[in-house]
């Protein structure tokens, strides 16, 4: 068995997440307490009680999702000797992967992604940017309709999540135009997403510059286990490339399909999603049906993973 651990990004958060796991494993609450101490507010209370609008605010969501992914990873580490061959993360999840790979200290990462969220929010005033999911069209057609809609402003294909599932981002008028074009061209669904920031498109370049300056202030190390980056579908060769890829990620597409295909080509047969929900596990199975795609977020899924690796 050769495994990779992957970490979800924004969109997998929900009020009450990880409650079951926290009941059985004190490490979950301890991890959230560590993050709360670093940020100055009660992160666990926010995840358990909401309000949902606050949990979905990008500068809150990012620390929450990073902390949740690290908490699940720590629980798994506390009970298993299984060491993954690779790590990867979807968008924000890349930072969680770097924490798991000992490339960045957890507290540094929590503070960094809070700032990342603030920079992203500041780059595009609320209401001016948008994202939408386009289902049932091939990638090239989505790129073409973005090019056509760009007469209305910036719009780009930004998340290649699974075959036939692409997310677009840009200025609100251009995204609305692209949605209309996608519907015309026979998309199964084309719907705007409830997000306040148009991630991974050109509009994020100012945020990327601010992020690059922050990355220079913190202690980054080369990962102990290779982390496959969204922007390049490779592991960084040195620290300067690692920093460059993290900054570039903000305005570059998330190449998730290629990432999972790359892992499969390295003979990875089991991809474990560490964090709340099972969004990535679903995508991973659609990308490569031969993969054992397992989410871990509660005692039941944890037990399933133990059985899958012969430790249950």
Phi/psi for 16 (5° steps) reads: 95, 0
Between CA 269 and CA 273, with CA 271 as vertex, the angle to 5 degrees is 170
150 classed as catalytic: no
User: Who's near 146: CB < 8 A, 6+ residues apart?
Assistant: 155, 156, 157, 168, 170, 178
90 classed as catalytic: no
- The encoded tokens of residue 162 equal 């699974």
Q: Tokens 């690779």 appear where?
A: 86
**Are residues 103 and 220 in contact, defined by beta-carbon separation less than 8 angstroms?**
yes
Q: Residue 190, SS3?
A: strand
In sequence order, which ranges of the chain are alpha helices (DSSP H)? 19-24, 26-39, 43-49, 52-55, 58-79, 93-100, 106-123, 139-149, 172-184, 205-215, 239-249, 256-265, 279-287, 299-308
**In terms of DSSP bridges, do strands 270-274 and 3-7 run parallel, antiparallel, or are they unpaired?**
parallel
**In terms of DSSP bridges, do strands 227-228 and 189-192 run parallel, antiparallel, or are they unpaired?**
unpaired
Q: Residue 57, SS3?
A: coil
Exposed (0-12), middle (13-18) or buried (19+): which is 310, by Cβ within 10 Å? exposed
- Given 200, 229, 252, 274, which residue is catalytic? 200
DSSP assigned state of 270? E
**Are residues 40 and 107 in contact, defined by beta-carbon separation less than 8 angstroms?**
no
- The encoded tokens of residue 249 equal 């990620």
- Given 3, 12, 36, 91, which residue is catalytic? 91
Exposed (0-12), middle (13-18) or buried (19+): which is 92, by Cβ within 10 Å? buried
Active-site residue numbers?
91, 200
């Amino acid at each position: 068995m050769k495994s990779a651990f992957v970490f979800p990004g924004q969109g997998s958060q929900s009020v009450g997440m990880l409650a079951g796991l926290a009941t059985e494993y004190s490490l979950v609450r301890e991890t959230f307490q560590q993050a709360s101490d670093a940020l100055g507010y009660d992160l666990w209370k926010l995840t358990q009680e909401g309000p949902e609008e606050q949990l979905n605010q990008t500068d809150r969501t990012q620390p929450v999702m990073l902390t949740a992914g690290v908490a699940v990873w720590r629980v798994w580490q506390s009970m298993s000797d299984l060491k993954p061959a690779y790590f990867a993360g979807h968008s924000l999840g890349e930072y969680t992967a770097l924490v798991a790979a000992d490339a960045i200290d957890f507290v540094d990462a929590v503070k960094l992604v809070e700032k990342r969220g603030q920079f992203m929010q500041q780059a595009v005033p609320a209401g001016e940017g948008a994202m939408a999911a386009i289902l049932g069209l091939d990638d090239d057609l989505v790129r073409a309709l973005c090019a056509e809609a760009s007469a209305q402003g910036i719009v780009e294909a930004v998340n290649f999540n699974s075959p036939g599932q692409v997310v677009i981002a840009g200025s609100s008028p251009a995204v609305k135009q692209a949605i209309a074009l996608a519907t015309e061209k026979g998309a199964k669904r084309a719907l705007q997403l409830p997000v306040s920031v148009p991630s991974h498109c050109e509009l994020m370049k100012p945020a990327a510059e601010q992020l690059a300056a922050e990355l220079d202030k913190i202690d980054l190390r080369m990962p102990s286990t290779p982390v496959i980056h969204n922007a390049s579908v490779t592991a960084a060769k040195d620290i300067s490339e690692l920093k460059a890829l993290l900054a570039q990620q903000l305005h570059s597409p998330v190449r998730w399909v290629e990432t999972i295909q790359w892992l499969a080509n390295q003979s990875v047969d089991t991809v474990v999603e560490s964090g709340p929900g099972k969004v990535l596990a679903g995508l991973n199975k659609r990308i490569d049906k031969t993969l054992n795609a397992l989410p871990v977020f509660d005692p039941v899924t944890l037990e399933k993973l133990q059985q899958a690796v012969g430790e249950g």
